[in-house]
Amino acid sequence: MQHARKLLESRAYFSRVPAQDVLVGNNEDGAAYKIATRDANGTFVLVYSPAGHEFEVDMTKLSGKARAAWFNPRNGESKELGEYSNEGTQKFTPPTYGPDWILTLDV
């Protein structure tokens, strides 16, 4: 939990809002339910995938081109994915199938 907390604390707090609207399509129920938050100004999006399932993000919620990475809250390591346009939607698949991955999108 300490690594996830550090990740959250590294982003703006007072402009952070719940953002389930960034998830495109049907969000799974139960233990696979994904949770999203974003900056109200569109500078970042974080999506927590507890079961490690693929999901799609509405990239128009971001204010510009975003750097994407997978954050592993179990050990605090990140895996860079590259840059993505803030147009349309984009599918993201966690690096491994399994619990606890956080997608970070930073403008």
pLDDT tens-place string over residues 45-74: 999 999 989 999 999 999 999 999 999 999
Q: Is the pLDDT of residue 30 over 80?
A: yes
Question: Residues 64, 86: contact at Cβ < 8 Å?
Answer: yes
- For the chain, the straight-line distance linking the first and the last C-alpha, in angstroms and rounded, comes to 25
pLDDT at 80 over 90: yes
In the chain, % of residues over pLDDT 90: 86
Task: Give the per-residue pLDDT at 96.
Answer: 85
**In whole angstroms, what is the distance from residue 39 CA to residue 15 CA?**
5
Task: Give the global pTM.
Answer: 0.93
The answer to whether residue 1 scores a pLDDT higher than 80 is: no
